[in-house]
A and B are shown apart, each in its own frame.
Chain A
Amino acid sequence: MNPDFLTTAKPISKLIEELNKLPGIGPKTAQRLAYHLLQAPPERSRDLADAIVSIKENLKLCSICLNITDSDPCGLCSDESRDMTKVCVVEEPIDIMPLERTKKFRGLYHVLHGVISPGDGIKPEDLHIRELLDRLGGNPITEVILATNPNVEGEATSMYIQRLISPLGIRVTRLARGLPFGGDLEYADDVTLSRALEGRQEM
């Protein structure tokens, strides 16, 4: 048993233990957070506790785009100012956030909740590809933008989806792959560089 446990009051050591399980939080950070909460006003810890509980109790998947939401359809799907003819396909709900931050895309999303990974036994049926195809039939969608991650599983998933959609006569595009802003050519890998060359643009 951890010797600290004998000297620390039980509720605190319990909190430290729980915080420690979170990603990126080591034992020292957990201790600091726990003692911080102890000194903070009681409303603060109640708000935090409520927020944590409510993500488990009030959230569900949007029936259209499968994003995580508290209202169905989600805020993005029910926003009429958005471009209903474009759908951007992402791996995880968290991928929507960076795309929204760019303010360059005003269309809708579709969340797959994973990627095809044959080595781990993850098959297309385990993802929400069926729902995407259902969405395309009958809807005014003219373009599907594949925004899976630029790694082998992401590419394989995109190629597979492209194959399913192209017979429907809908335009399928893929996010460009190239050099990161603020990066350095010297450190770019060959795949990225060759894709960047292939996708070069007139200035």
Chain B
Amino acid sequence: MASRVYQTEGIVIKRHKFGEADRLLTIFTADCGKVRAIAKGAMRPKSKLGGNVELLTHSQLMLARGRNLDIITQAQAIDNFLPIRDSLELMSCGFYLSELVDTFTEESVEDREMFDLFLNTLRELSAAREGERILRYFELRLLSHLGYRPQLQRCSNCGKQLQEEINYFNPVQGGALCRECGYPDMGAKTLSVNALKVLRLWLRCNFETAKRVKLNVDLTREIKNLMRENVKYVLEKQLKSIEWMDKLAAENSVAGNTSANAIDQQSSA
């Protein structure tokens, strides 16, 4: 019989109140995939688990197998990504990432590659000033890793090589569409030459290269909408945290970014 106690590292992606002072955690672990576990007494001020099992904390965990839910017996934070917590914008990205990972994974399916991707993304986010490119790169790599890689070399309908011109994109068709096939397709969005190049590059490069890509406002918006459509199509629903990110972004642009900048300066000081 397998041992009752096991150790792994994991990232907390969701947590709920459970009973009086316990928390029910959803953890994406390196060795066992997504696991649900109870952190007893985690809400008490003197709990030794508390801060080590906060949302988006990368921790070394010791768990005991229970009948339904496992119980966390020890936790030691490896990285708690403090800069993410200190910025409302980055934390919003964090909320979105955790919801994304939670929605895309099934319980107890080990996926080391995805764990590493997620962990790297959080590290990058923690060192970044804004999360836009990091989120997009993560979405694309996540889709690709899980078998939903969008077709970006040829037209997903007729199979013709894409020309260097404005093409189209429809996740329902599986990716990019050439001009002839995309134009009459009501569900397709336009895909600019630059956006296509960026997405193609991101599919085969690492984080280092990915974040060096400079995006202007229009290109950022275009790629964001394309990826959002694609994720929504695959999940068949819109994630809840998107609404919050949009609201925050809208309020920031109204406020002329003055207060947001002030906060950024504070946290970097």
- Residues of A that sit less than 8 Å from B by CB: 23-24, 116, 118-121, 123-124, 151-153, 155-156, 159-160, 163, 166-167, 180, 182-183, 187-192, 194
Offer 9 A-B interface pairs, CB within 8 angstroms, sorted by A.
Answer: A23-B20, A118-B92, A118-B241, A155-B85, A159-B87, A183-B45, A187-B48, A189-B50, A189-B80
Chain A residue numbers with a CB within 8 Å of B56 are 152
Residue among A119, A156, A183, A190 with the highest chain B CB neighbour number at 10 A: A119
CB of A97 to closest CB in B, whole Å: 15
Interface of A is mostly: helix
Complex CA distance for A120 and B240, rounded to whole angstroms:
7
Whether A119 and B48, one on each chain, are in contact in the complex, defined by CB atoms closer than 8 angstroms, is no
Whether B263 and A23, one on each chain, are in contact in the complex, defined by CB atoms closer than 8 angstroms, is no
CB of B115 to closest CB in A, whole Å: 19
Chain A residue numbers with a CB within 8 Å of B91 are 152, 155-156, 159
Task: Determine whether B183 belongs to the interface, using a CB cutoff of 8 Å to chain A.
Answer: no
Task: Determine whether B104 belongs to the interface, using a CB cutoff of 8 Å to chain A.
Answer: no
Chain A residue numbers with a CB within 8 Å of B88 are 156, 159-160, 163
Residue among B20, B46, B56 with the highest chain A CB neighbour number at 10 A: B46
Q: Count of B residues near A, CB < 8 Å?
A: 38
Task: Determine whether B70 belongs to the interface, using a CB cutoff of 8 Å to chain A.
Answer: no
Whether A167 and B259, one on each chain, are in contact in the complex, defined by CB atoms closer than 8 angstroms, is yes
Complex CA distance for A44 and B260, rounded to whole angstroms:
57
Complex CA distance for A192 and B77, rounded to whole angstroms:
12
Known pairs A118-B240, A155-B85; A192 contacts B92 (CB<8 A): no
Complex CA distance for A189 and B87, rounded to whole angstroms:
20
Known pairs A118-B244, A155-B91, A159-B263; A191 contacts B85 (CB<8 A): yes
CB of A191 to closest CB in B, whole Å: 5
Chain A residue numbers with a CB within 8 Å of B48 are 187, 189
- Residues of B that sit less than 8 Å from A by CB: 14, 19-20, 45-46, 48, 50-52, 54-56, 77, 80, 82, 85, 87-88, 91-92, 94-96, 98-99, 102, 240-241, 243-245, 247-248, 255, 259-260, 262-263
CB of A158 to closest CB in B, whole Å: 9
Whether A119 and B85, one on each chain, are in contact in the complex, defined by CB atoms closer than 8 angstroms, is no
Whether B20 and A24, one on each chain, are in contact in the complex, defined by CB atoms closer than 8 angstroms, is yes
CB of B10 to closest CB in A, whole Å: 15
Instruction: Kindly list 5 other residue pairs between chains A and B, CB separation below 8 angstroms, not including A118-B99, A156-B91, A191-B51.
Output: A121-B240, A156-B88, A180-B46, A183-B45, A192-B51
Whether A119 and B51, one on each chain, are in contact in the complex, defined by CB atoms closer than 8 angstroms, is no
Complex CA distance for A158 and B103, rounded to whole angstroms:
27
Complex CA distance for A166 and B91, rounded to whole angstroms:
20
**In the complex, which of the residues B51, B82, B99, B247 contacts A123, with contact meaning CB atoms closer than 8 Å?**
B247
Chain A residue numbers with a CB within 8 Å of B54 are 151-152, 191
Chain A residue numbers with a CB within 8 Å of B96 are 118
CB of B73 to closest CB in A, whole Å: 14
Whether B263 and A163, one on each chain, are in contact in the complex, defined by CB atoms closer than 8 angstroms, is yes
Known pairs A118-B96, A151-B55; A123 contacts B263 (CB<8 A): no
Chain A residue numbers with a CB within 8 Å of B244 are 116, 118, 123
Complex CA distance for A190 and B260, rounded to whole angstroms:
26
